[in-house]
Amino acid sequence: MFQFKYSGEILSFVRCIRFSVAVLQVNISVMQGKEFSMAVGNLYWGQRKFDTEKAKRISSIFALAGNNEDALSNAFGYVLASSQKLMIRFLKEVGILRPIQGKSYNKETANFRIYLQEQSVSPKGGRRDITIEFDDTRIVIEAKIGKGIPSVQQLVKYSLTSDENGEIDCAYIDSVWGTFGKRYLLPLTVREIPELYYQDLQNRIDASISPRIQILPVVWQTVIKVLKYFISEDRNSQELYNFIKKDYYMKYFEYEVICRHVVKDERYEMALNDPIGYYFDGSREDFVNPECLFFCPVYGPGPNKIRTGEYIRKINNYRIMSARDIIAEGGPKAEFYLNVHCSKYPGEEQSERVHVFELGEKISIPNSKQIMDGTAKYYKELIDLLAI
């Protein structure tokens, strides 16, 4: 049987959960579906101006513990501890357990343990938000909300040393990781972390200690995806799903997709049809690319008419280059497509500032027959389809 452990710092959270679970146990047998939602639908939180507005509605039992970073990571740890099946699914999604047909991993994880806010022996070592242990495996999760990502220095504290000068401390490493042979460090963020962001630290870890500690960045979108598998059968999953999407404003991942209007001709074809697609923009000096993960080319008869987006593509690379550098460095395919682009937009072959999107994986948008009129509403609907 799994063990769920916690430090004194989150005792109030655990008391809150115990209270909430007690309420659930009393009411779950008589409340189902909408009736259950209505039972907490008249509960509000925070300031209220009596003549103008209501306070924020409580969307989840977990909201009673607050809505800061610790509250969310504690809630996620609690849900992981409450369902071995959900935990296994999460570890498969992030690449720690291999999805093998017919293999459940129930035996390997039978005695798994979850630790919340685990404190380092060294006072400078910090707290680990969620720690999972089973068999020969130890996993440390550092969760962030908003646009923050764990710094390299923070992950150093969870992997190599608590020394401010960065000197590797073998005794400290043993105090954090023990004798576990499989070690994983998971930064959990809203924004996807660039692939090479922690590469130098990973190289240092690999060169310094054995067994190695593998850094695996994860996004909350993955947690949402896992929760959706269990919503219909697990009340805790439903509660955490609501908590994440409503209390932490993760309903829409707005920065993830950039939508650009293209004419449905060569430019549309070059953005979508080849294994590696391209999109160029060299006409606007003030254009700034948001930190997006996907590109959506939308087309139509004119910039003010209804347009349709059918696919998105993963942005493999984004750079600002001169046209001559694209020809010199981009290879034959980039040069070919740049020439196609410049045949439609004369003069850009002289541009010193061309935005270059190199596009990879092609994904069909669910319900792709939706129309796009350029409003934020459609944009958010598109992101919501991707997020869930």
Residues 77 and 216 both lie in one domain:
yes
Residues 199 and 260 both lie in one domain:
no
Out of 247, 264, 291, pick the residue that ends a domain.
247
What pLDDT score was predicted for residue 31? 35
What pLDDT score was predicted for residue 354? 86
Separation between Cα atoms, residue 335 and residue 128, nearest integer Å: 48
What pLDDT score was predicted for residue 252? 46
What pLDDT score was predicted for residue 172? 83
Tokens 């509605």 correspond to 57
Q: How confident is residue 217, by pLDDT bands cut at 50, 70 and 90?
A: very high
> Among the ranges 76-90, 160-174, 332-346, which has the highest mean pLDDT value?
76-90
Give per-residue pLDDT as tens, 308-343. Answer: 566 778 888 888 888 889 888 878 888 888 888 888
Average pLDDT over residues 78-82: 94
pLDDT at 183 over 70: yes
Residues 185 and 290 both lie in one domain:
no
Average pLDDT over residues 260-275: 65
What pLDDT score was predicted for residue 355? 85
Q: Which helix (H) or strand (E) holds 57?
A: strand 56-57
The CATH number for 351's domain is 2.30.130
Residues 130 and 156 both lie in one domain:
yes
Give per-residue pLDDT as tens, 234-248. Answer: 999 999 988 887 777
Q: How confident is residue 7, by pLDDT bands cut at 50, 70 and 90?
A: very low
Hey, what are 388's tokens?
Answer: 């869930």
pLDDT at 348 over 80: yes
Hey, what are 87's tokens?
Answer: 């935990």
Residues 222 and 351 both lie in one domain:
no
Residues 123 and 230 both lie in one domain:
yes
Sequence-distant (6+) residues with CB within 8 A of 273 are: none
Residues 165 and 288 both lie in one domain:
no
Mark out the alpha helices in 115-230 (DSSP H runs).
152-157, 170-177, 199-208, 220-230
Out of 201, 222, 247, pick the residue that ends a domain.
247
Out of 217, 247, 277, pick the residue that ends a domain.
247
Residues 169 and 112 both lie in one domain:
yes
Residues 227 and 369 both lie in one domain:
no
Contact 226, 86 (CB under 8 A): yes
List the single range of 29-33, 108-112, 245-249, 278-282 with lowest mean pLDDT: 29-33
Average pLDDT, the chain: 75
> Considering the entire predicted model, what is its pTM?
0.60
Number of domains composing the chain: 2
Separation between Cα atoms, residue 63 and residue 224, nearest integer Å: 17
Contact 267, 277 (CB under 8 A): no
Residues 213 and 361 both lie in one domain:
no
Percent of the chain clearing pLDDT 70 (strictly above):
66
Residues 166 and 59 both lie in one domain:
yes
Domain holding 88, by residue range, is 3-247
Average pLDDT over residues 211-220: 93
Residues 110 and 193 both lie in one domain:
yes
pLDDT at 44 over 90: no
What pLDDT score was predicted for residue 9? 43
**Angle subtended at Cα 260 by Cα 254 and Cα 265, rounded to the nearest 5 degrees:** 150
Average pLDDT over residues 11-24: 45
